[in-house]
Amino acid sequence: MALKVLSLNLWHDAGPWPERAKRIREWIDRLDPDLIGFQEALEGEGVDQAAELMAGRDYHLDFAMATPRWLGRDIAFGNAVASRWPLRDRAVLDLPSSGDGETRTALSVVAEAPFGPVSFTCTHLNWRFHHGNVRERQVLALAEWVWARRPEGGCPPILVGDFNAAPEAAEIRFLSGIQSLAGRSVYFVDAWDVAGEGDGTTWSNRNDHAREWLEPDRRIDYVFAGPPRRDGLGQITRCQVVCNDQQDGIWPSDHFGVFAELRDAPIPEFASRV
C-alpha cells in the first residue's frame, strides 16, 4: 500500500467545464488518490467545484478563498482539498502579494490517516513570469508555516500546488534545498525529481488550452514532501504527470496534474530506527 497524492489546477470553470469535469472525475477514479489538492477551484452561489468533482465518492472536503469575487461574480476563487480520511486542524495562510490585486493563499489541513496524522497543504503562487520576487517572498512564508504545522511523530508534511515557476527558479531551488533566500534555507523533496516518470512537463503546448497563451513548455506544478522518517515512512516512491490526455478534443484542464505515491509504512529493515 502507499499514500497516494494528486495535485491539479482546475482552470476554474473556463472552457467546456461540464465535459472537463467528467474527464477529471475519470482520472480521479483511475488514480484513486488519498489526498487531492485543487487550485483555481470555485465556491459560491450555486457553485462548488470540489463537491461536484467528488460527488458520490467518500471524501472529506475543505476550501480556502484567495479571491472573494471571481470575474465580478459572487463566487470565491481559491484552493480546495479532498481527503479519504477525516480532517482536523485546518488553517489558511494569506501569502505576500505584489500589491496589484492578485491575492494568493495556502490551505493546510491535517488528515487522520490510519498510519498517523498527515499535514497536507495546497497552494497557488503568483502567475506572472516577472513576479519571481513575489514568489520568493511567498515560499519563504509558506515553508516556515508548513514546517510549523507538521504533526509530532506523524508523516512528513506534504505541500502541493501550482507554483508557476520552473525547477531552476530561485523559489523552487529554495524549497528543494539547493539555495538559500534571505539568509534562510529549507528542504522539501520534489517528488518528480526523485521518482518522476517522463519529462515532467505540466504546462504543455500539446494542450489546446495552454497553447493559446503562447508560453513555453515547463514544469510548474509540484508535489513536495518533507524528508522521510528514518524508518522510511513518507519516502516518495513514484511520481507521474497525469490528467494529460484529450478525448474527443476535451482536455481535463489547461494544466496537467501531478500524482505521487509515498510509503505509508516503515521499511521492515528500518522499522526500529525511529
Report the distance separating Cα 38 and Cα 160, nearest Å: 9
The amino acid sitting at 264 is D
**35 pLDDT more than 80:** yes
Task: Say which range, 16-20, 152-156, 222-226, has the weakest mean pLDDT.
Answer: 152-156
Average pLDDT over residues 199-212: 95
Whole-number mean pLDDT of the chain? Answer: 94
Q: What confidence score (pLDDT) does residue 8 get?
A: 98
pLDDT band at residue 261 under the 50/70/90 scheme = very high
Can you tell me which residue has the cell 514544469? Answer: 219
The pLDDT score that the predictor gives to residue 259 is 98
Q: What is the pLDDT of residue 98?
A: 85
Residue 154 has pLDDT above 90, yes or no: no
Q: Which whole-number Å values give the CA distances from 148 to 37, 54, 144, 240, in the listed order? A: 20, 30, 6, 28
pLDDT at residue 72, rounded to an integer: 74
**Burial state string for 52-86 with b = 16 or more CB within 10 A and e = fewer than 16:** bbbeeeebbbbbbbbbeebeeeebbbbbbbbbbbe
Quick one: average pLDDT of 202-218?
95
CB 257 within 8 A of CB 33: no
Task: Give the pLDDT band (50/70/90) at residue 135.
Answer: very high
What is the per-residue pLDDT across 53-80, written as a single tens digit (0 to 9) for each? Answer: 999 999 999 999 999 887 778 899 999 9
Residue 274: pLDDT above 70? no
Instruction: Using only the alpha carbons of the chain, give its radius of gyration.
Output: 18
**pLDDT > 90? residue 163:** yes
Min mean pLDDT across 54-63, 100-109, 161-170, 217-226 is at 100-109
Count of domains forming the chain: 1
pLDDT bucket at 152, cuts 50 / 70 / 90: confident
Residue 97 zone, left/alpha/beta (φ > 0; ψ -120 to 50; rest)? beta
CB atoms closer than 10 angstroms to residue 116:
16
pLDDT at 187: 97
Residue 198 has pLDDT above 80, yes or no: yes
Q: What are phi and psi of 184, to 5 degrees?
A: -120, 155
For 206-213, what is the mean pLDDT?
A: 93
Confidence (pLDDT) at 266: 82
* Rounded Cα gap, residues 106 and 91, in angstroms: 8
Domain coverage including residue 20: 2-273
Contact at 8 Å (CB) between 132 and 172? no
Q: Is the pLDDT of residue 179 over 80?
A: yes
Of 203, 178, 205, whose CA–CA distance to 190 is shortest?
178
Please report, for the domain that includes residue 204, its CATH number. 3.60.10.10
Q: Give one DSSP letter per residue of 88-127, joined into a string.
A: EEEEEEEPP--SSS---EEEEEEEEETTEEEEEEEEE---
C-alpha cell at position 144: 516556515
d(CA 217, CA 214): 9
The neighbouring-strand residues paired with 260 are 5, 239
